[in-house]
Amino acid sequence: MSPFPPHPNASDLLAALRPREQALLTRHLSDCVLDAGAVIHKPGDAVDHCYLPTGAALCSYIVELDDGTAIETMLIGREGALGGFVSHGSIPAYARAEVLHGGLFRRIALHELEAAKRASPAIANLFACYADCMMAQVFQSIACNAVHTIEQRAAKWLGAAVDRIGDANVTMRQDQLAAMMGIGRSYASRVLQRFKHDGLLRTRRGGIVVLDRDALQNRACSCNVHVSAHFERVLGGVYPDMEG
């Protein structure tokens, strides 16, 4: 099966709802196009909207440390939402939400989302289940960063990005990849050179092209597999992969 969503502007999270429940949300949704590098919110900002990436749009939650190091804690693509787990009004953001791969986002004010949750147990359950899946990603990320090698983590990240984007072209420079992983640029460069030598990928200006997704998966840790399995148990069919 194709790894691409059924429509270039699809949200797999919204698609998990029946048409009647989707209609409760879509009447309040607006569209916005965000480019790579756009910051949706920074720590301390009021979170008053939920953003749903569609198609190839890809975002990340990033935690900034005191020394200026910025480390990614979670990738979010068409399977998810930013701010969708916030309930009952605006609260300050803890992490920076940044666009990694630009595209179309659906946006809804949180008070409208909360009204839809109150009107539909199915919508409330969907976002509650997604919040659980987000926590699973955070837990797995903590464990991964603690015990897995840089090569395993880099292969895991690139594979996850390809699955969500639905394309082998990842808009990410090696210095950005290093920063996202919390490692030095020289470490990231050595890993990418090793992957290039083995025919797994090639680099281009401003991006990375994955040439052998299966071989890359063999180099990765199993963290994506565990997260995907949890998504399948909790929100079957929502988490993207190369089979569907």
The length of the chain, given as a count of residues: 244
**DSSP of 131-150:** HHHHHHHHHHHHHHHHHS-H
> Which pTM was predicted?
0.87
pLDDT at 179 over 80: no
Q: What is the pLDDT of residue 2?
A: 33
Contact assessment for residue 56 and residue 125, using Cβ atoms and an 8 Å cutoff = no
Long-range contacts of 6-10 (CB under 8 A, 24+ apart): 7/55, 8/54, 8/55, 8/56, 9/54, 9/55, 9/104, 10/54, 10/55, 10/78
For the chain, list the domains and their CATH numbers: 12-122 (2.60.120.10), 149-219 (1.10.10.10)
Q: Compute the average pLDDT of residues 34-47.
A: 91
pLDDT tens-digit map of 91-107: 788 889 999 889 999 99
Sheet (strand 58-64) strand order: 39-41, 96-101, 58-64, 70-76
pLDDT band at 243 (very low <50, low <70, confident <90, very high): very low
- What is the per-residue pLDDT for 6? 42
List pLDDT tens digits, range 86-144: 555 567 888 899 998 899 999 999 999 999 999 999 999 999 999 999 999 999 988 99
**Tell me: the pLDDT tens digits for 7-19?**
566 899 999 999 9
Residue in 201, 210, 127, 195 with CA at minimum distance from that of residue 163: 210
Amino acid, single-letter form, for residue 79: E
Q: Tell me which of 178 and 77 has the higher pLDDT.
A: 77
Q: Give dist(CA 48, CA 72) in Å, integer.
A: 22
